[in-house]
Structures are given as C-alpha cells and as structure tokens.
Amino acid sequence: MQNTTDDWPVDFPGLRTHFLDGKVESRLERLRLQDLSPGELVVRTMYAGVNYKDGLSIHGQAKIITEYPRVAGIELVGEVIASSTDDFRIGQVVLVHGFQTGIAFDGGFSRYCRIPAAHAQALPQGLTPYEAAVIGVPGFTAAMALEHFESCGIQPSAGPIAVSGAGGAVGLLAMGILSRAGYSVAAITRRTELPSSLLSAGATEVIDAAVLDLPQRALEKARFSAAIDNLGGTMLSWLLRSMKDGGCVACVGNASGNTYEGSVLPFIMRRIQLFGVMANAPWPQRRRLWERLGQDLKPDFAKLIPHVKHIQLEQLMAHTELQLKGQTSGRVLVSYED
C-alpha cells in the first residue's frame, strides 16, 4: 500500500464461512489481512448491516456465496486506513454494497476489510457514517423503487403506497423514505404487536396480513397507487390484484417464496406494472440516489433510530437464526465502534 497508517493489529476478528464435508459452517476466527480477498483499500469497518440474505448465506440455507472460505456481509461503512489509489485517501469514510460484496468478495463481517476501489463510494454529503449505515441496502432498495414510481408519474396525491413485510429493515426504511417524500404508507404485517411502532416509524395505516386468509377475488378493491413487496408468494399476488389503475409493484424480496400465482387481469384491466429491484445499481443511479438520500429523501432518523438494534460480531449467528424464523424486526447493525 502506498498510503497507509500503521495502527491495525496483526490479526482481528471476523466471521468466516466455510464449506466443509458437504455443508456450510460459519465461525468466528482471528483473521489476517492476507486472508482477505484483494483490493486497493484497507477499511476499518465501523458498521455492517445485517440482511436476510446474510442469514441465508452464513447458515447455508441458500446457495449465495460463490467461493469458500468467505467473510459474508453484503454491506459496510468504514474508514480507509490504507489506499494504493488516488481515488481515496486515508481517513475517508466509505460505504460499500453490491458488486458481489460478501459473495465473491469478502464483506462486512470482519473488523477490517480489503475492498476493490471500484466497489467503494465516498460517504454521501448530508449523512453521517451512522446514518448511511442505517439506510444501507434496505434504504437504497426503497429509493430505487421510489425512483421508478416517480418515473411512472405516481405522485403522493395518487394514494397510499403499500409496504409488505413492514416490520423488517426494508419496510422500516421504505416507510421513512416514502413519508419523507410526502407519500402515505400502508404498512402490512402479520405481527399484531407492531402496529404502534410502525405508525411511529412513518406509516399512515397498518393492515393485518391476515387479509390473505380471506376468500380471494380475481381483482380486489383498488386501494394502492404502488407497492414495495418484500415477500413474494401470496402477498405479491394480492398486491397485484389490489392496485389502482396504472399502479406499480416493486418486487424486492422473496421471504415467503420464489413463486406466486397470478392472473393477467390486473395487467390488462388496470394497466399494472410489475418490476424487480436489486440494490446492485449502476454507478450513475447509485450516486444519484445516495445524493438524494442525503437530501430530499433523507428520512427522519429520530423516528427510525428507536427501531435500530446494535449487535456485536459474536452475536451475529444467534441473531440471524432468529431473523430467518421471522422473529426479529427493524434494522440491525453489527457495530464495531466502541
């Protein structure tokens, strides 16, 4: 490294995932810099967001990691402590997500990371490192969906935007970002203990997902101008049937399954648009949306922070086990800061 500090330890903690004897095994290890995938930057991790995909990865419940061993964690915010490129300087805070981070490259579940400079982004103006970490992949996903809604001409006056899986991180950030942009949000959840907290986070109404247990019609009452669906399955089917004329549905997750039963009627009779969102956006869109997330789409963090939980690296396996069972809520960060 051409530009470097000398204050990192010989070894440091990380959660490393292996494929041994035909099964996935993740464990805390003491890692050295040379153990990590290559990159022009050495970053001291400050925060790593914990996503559903990470839980699937480290528990071996889906084939996500492409090569073992791997440090998972698809997103991180941290400080550059060594750089061999003029694009980033020592002491600069960067955020990293997408580009196969935690999948083909080592990710955020390590106190120190080596990052390809082409994968890193300077901390956006208007955001602190902590705020950027809270937004992370879930907030960026919601911002991508919102930008598409805007391109379709959906304005706040068109009616509420539905958010399924509202108790999760994407739901939480979607509520904060959509409400900041002036939209009313219909939060959908099966968890009866959550309505008051969802309203405090930015929802204008809460819908019990038990509506899916009622007799289903080919077209439901037209009630939403758009929707962000985290679940797939029967929820996605119901949302498509519940859109107003010209509505848009963003498919961003598959927590309830990879398939759904559908009909052409919502597309023909109500001109519905269904599109997918993956947070690994091209750089022009990435820079544009992160700039907005520090400005006109910046959520009210006073409402979000009560729903943000901090855990230590050694708590990660236990937490993600509960997450995969649907027993967690809100945004969770592995915090390396003292």
- 314 and 252 belong to one structural domain: no
Closest CA to 226 of 251, 257, 206: 251
- 71 and 191 belong to one structural domain: no
**3-class DSSP string for the chain:** CCEECCCCCCCEEEEEEEEECCEEEEEEEEECHHHCCCCCEEEEEEEEECCHHHHHHHCCCCCCCCCCCEECCCEEEEEEEEECCCCCCCCCEEEEECCCECCCECCCCECEEEECHHHEEECCCCCCHHHHHHHHHHHHHHHHHHHHHHHCCCCHHHCCEEECCCCCHHHHHHHHHHHHCCCCEEEEECCCCCHHHHHHHCCCEEEEHHHHHCCCCCCCCCCEEEEEECCCHHHHHHHHHCEEEEEEEEECCCCCCCCCCCCCHHHHHCCCEEEECCCCCCHHHHHHHHHHHCCCCCCCHHHHHHHEEEECHHHHHHHHHHHHCCCCCCEEEEECCC
Closest CA to 28 of 71, 80, 60: 71
**Owning domain of residue 110:** 3-123+305-335
Examine residue 265 and state whether it is found in any structural domain, yes or no: yes
Count of structural domains within the chain? 2
Examine residue 156 and state whether it is found in any structural domain, yes or no: yes
CB 194 within 8 A of CB 208: no
- 49 and 86 belong to one structural domain: yes
Locus of tokens 């890193």: 120
Other Cβ atoms closer than 10 A to 93: 18
Examine residue 235 and state whether it is found in any structural domain, yes or no: yes
Write down which residue in 259, 276, 293 finishes a domain: 276
Q: What is the pLDDT along the chain (338 residues), one digit of tens a residue?
A: 455 555 668 899 999 999 999 999 999 999 999 999 999 999 999 999 999 999 999 999 999 999 999 999 999 999 999 999 999 999 999 999 999 999 999 999 999 999 999 999 999 999 999 999 999 999 999 999 999 999 999 999 999 999 999 999 999 999 999 999 999 999 999 887 878 999 999 999 999 999 999 888 999 999 999 999 999 999 999 999 999 999 999 999 988 888 898 899 999 999 999 999 998 899 999 999 999 999 999 999 999 999 999 999 999 999 999 999 989 999 999 999 76
Examine residue 295 and state whether it is found in any structural domain, yes or no: no
* pLDDT on residue 1: 47
Q: Alpha-carbon distance 70 to 169, whole Å?
A: 24
Task: Report pTM.
Answer: 0.94
CB 70 within 8 A of CB 17: yes
Angle between the N-to-C axes of helices 129-151 and 169-180, in degrees from 0 to 180, rounded to the nearest 10: 70
Report the CATH number that the domain containing residue 169 is assigned in CATH.
Answer: 3.40.50.720
* pLDDT on residue 111: 97
Q: Alpha-carbon distance 73 to 129, whole Å?
A: 17
- 143 and 104 belong to one structural domain: no
